[in-house]
Homo-oligomer: A and B are copies of this chain.
Amino acid sequence: MSEQVRERETRRLDRVVVRFAGDSGDGMQLTGEQFTSETATFGNDLSTLPDFPAEIRAPAGTPAGVSGFQLHFSDHDILTPGDAPDVLVAMNPAALKANLKDLPSGANLIVNTDAFTSGNLKKAGYATDPLTDGTLDEYVVHRVPLTSMTITAVHATEGSGGVNKKEAERAKNMFALGLMSWLYHRPTGGTEAFLNKKFAKRPEIAAANIAAFRAGFNYGETTESFTVTYEVAPARMKSGTYRRISGNLALSYGLVAAGELTGLPIFLGSYPITPASDILHELSKHKRFGVRTFQAEDEIAGIGSALGASFGGSLGVTTTSGPGVALKSETIGLAVSLELPLVIVDIQRGGPSTGLPTKTEQADLLQAMFGRNGEAPVPIVAPRSPGDCFDAAIEAARLATKYRTPVFLLSDGYLANGSEPWLLPTREELPDLRVSFTTEPNHTGAKGPEFWPYLRDPETLARPWAIPGTPGLEHRIGGIEKSDGQGNISYDPANHDRMVRLRAAKVAGIANDIPPLEVDDPSGTAQVLVLGWGSTFGPIAAGCRRVRAKGLQVAQAHLRHLNPFPANTGEILRSYDKVLIPEMNLGQLRTLIRAEYLVDAIGYNQVRGLPFKAAELAGVLEDVINQ
């Protein structure tokens, strides 16, 4: 109102949650990613949650077509992408409609007023204009004519000649990013470099985007809409070199690393499926590491080819999501019978059937455990955070090669697409997993030395791995029951019983080769234990923090190995009055825990395609503690 430029307040915050939301075509993922990049370089701890529709380009302007990206960053270590945004950027009415319910009152809301046309309002399902009908009264609303200002800015810029109106308009996400960068004092150099690189082949587009980005930044500086800016100091994190990484990328790197560490070439046989495809995409780039990727005709061929490669001495890997696992079941059974190494990566998504293909869920655990004919045990490993996917992949490869067995690696959509800062390991920190093939006969028969493909290592119960090309060890394996040791077809009843038990004992024995379950119980006096697995680690830990901050006691333990469980699991469970198992399914770990340890574990279950919120879990924990 007054002509005078007001002094702006800069508020220091310890954590902020921002969400960008717009049409699928508005580039919200890119915007979010780039804001995250700035934030990572700045040194905050962070966690992200992208959220996009199943359609490639769901209908423009409708709530179904909205694509969102949430980022939580802080000056201390954090565990989740945040429960509710402190600021929402809504590029159009549909984005507002789809996200407003998540926005706590008092939050900042930046809306692109240009998009609030009557047509767009209708598409979004608004009968009246929320900008004027009082809908937004409880928020701090910043009305920004984002589109028009972007076009003006672009067209006023040298170097962006030849950029037409549509192209200019497309840069509006960079205007939003510029504004947000200003609002949160983010470093901007990285983004400009990124844009120059990304559009290296079309410098006029790069110029347009940079112009929009700067215009957004300057708009914040000059407008009076924003009376406060925010600062979040860098986090104090463990010293070392960090990068930002998503779960699928970390998992891909873990597989490449597993190849190096075992000394085996990686062979990935895979069929594209959301949210696993990115691992195929990533691994297909790394031919210089000797990684072979094979896009198969279907999931069965994907795993079949991987198993064939393992027979030949590669580390066979197959990547998929739940429906693909279902198709691979029969071949997994064959791999159990052949006792060959194989890593089966399942990036879980919402089910059953096609379900919610772009959403997260933890409902394939029992499929991984039991989804095969006959007694066919398979070890299961699950990562707990995006960065942890790296280590979990290496662990899966370790078990697969050491025990000559297929191993499930159960990640999920949340880990796959979410990201966090990752402390890079040094080469020395990585384990030595070198494998040696059998090259000599291992048995003396009536006619001299023989090779017995099912003569087991007495300690691991693993069978020898003698690969084609090894003279004198020619042998045949198959899915029919084999005689213990010698490995010939055997229909003998006692032998079958023995082999079934040997395979089970081999997998069960892994319990002695994995770290014990660790409990985090700062007070040492908690009577409630929260047990989790997989991607719920962050929300559970955040929930625990909150209740502890209130002075309540709770212990947390998180399972990396789901089959077998660590040897001390039963002991730990039994030392608490109550065990709570939160899962994004109807209680699958709970089923396994109850069956194994007869502990009356309580389940807290949500099957919403979304990660838990810290506040929600804190509430549940309080209830359980106080009951």
Contacts and interface: CB of A to CB of B under 8 A. Distances in A.
A369 B367 contact: no
Interface string A325-364: 1110110011011100000000010111111111101011
Contacts of A165: none
Q: Which interface residue of A53, A334, A357, A608 has the most chain B CB atoms within 10 A?
A: A608
A624 interface: no
Contacts of A586: 375, 500-501, 504
A489 to B, nearest CB: 8
Contacts of A494: 608
A555 B358 CA distance: 51
A407 to B, nearest CB: 16
Interface stretch (A13-21, A181-189, A590-598): A590-598
A467 B326 CA distance: 28
Contacts of A369: 366, 370
Given A354-B479, A504-B586, A326 B372 contact: yes
A493 interface: yes
Contact of A352 (B337, B367, B585): B337
Contacts of A504: 586
Given A354-B480, A355-B480, A493 B610 contact: yes
Q: Which interface residue of A361, A496, A598 has the most chain B CB atoms within 10 A?
A: A496
A464 interface: no
Interface string A592-614: 10111011100000111110000
A352 B372 contact: yes
B325 A326 contact: no
A192 interface: no
A497 interface: yes
A25 interface: no
Nearest to A591: B595
A156 B337 CA distance: 55
A338 B359 CA distance: 20
Interface in A253-272: none
Q: Which interface residue of A330, A363, A479 has the most chain B CB atoms within 10 A?
A: A330
Nearest to A590: B595
Contact of A598 (B329, B336, B480, B598): B598
A480 B585 CA distance: 17
A334 B326 CA distance: 11
Contacts of A481: 350, 355-356
A336 B609 CA distance: 18
Given A608-B494, A609-B493, A326 B371 contact: yes
A373 interface: yes
A85 to B, nearest CB: 16
A619 interface: no
A64 interface: yes
A199 interface: no
B375 A352 contact: yes
A333 B353 contact: yes
Contact of A351 (B54, B373, B592): B373
A322 interface: yes
Contacts of A480: 54, 353-357
B496 A607 contact: yes
B330 A496 contact: no
A374 interface: yes
Copies of this subunit: 2
Nearest to A491: B356
A485 to B, nearest CB: 18
B478 A354 contact: yes
A376 interface: yes
A323 B330 contact: yes
Q: Which interface residue of A333, A359, A364 has the most chain B CB atoms within 10 A?
A: A333
A327 B325 contact: no
A54 B491 contact: yes
Contacts of A351: 333, 372-376
A548 B266 CA distance: 61
Interface string A422-450: 00000000000000000000000000000
Interface string A459-489: 0000000000000000000111100000000
A321 B480 CA distance: 15
A125 B326 CA distance: 44
Nearest to A361: B374
A511 to B, nearest CB: 16
A331 to B, nearest CB: 9
Given A354-B480, A356-B481, A366-B370, A375 B585 contact: yes
Contacts of A599: 598
Contacts of A354: 334, 337, 478-480
B608 A373 contact: no
A599 B598 CA distance: 7
A607 B326 contact: no
A71 B171 CA distance: 83
A609 B608 CA distance: 43
Q: Which interface residue of A325, A333, A351 has the most chain B CB atoms within 10 A?
A: A351
Contacts of A598: 594, 598-600
A348 to B, nearest CB: 8
Contact of A374 (B53, B330, B355, B594): B355
Interface of A: 53-54, 64, 321-323, 325-327, 329-330, 333-334, 336-338, 348, 350-359, 361, 363-364, 366-367, 369-376, 478-481, 491, 493-494, 496-497, 500-501, 503-504, 585-586, 590-592, 594-596, 598-600, 606-610
Given A323-B333, A351-B372, A363-B375, 18 more contacts: A54-B480, A64-B491, A322-B373, A323-B330, A326-B371, A329-B371, A330-B353, A336-B352, A351-B376, A353-B373, A353-B479, A353-B480, A355-B373, A356-B496, A361-B374, A366-B370, A497-B608, A595-B595
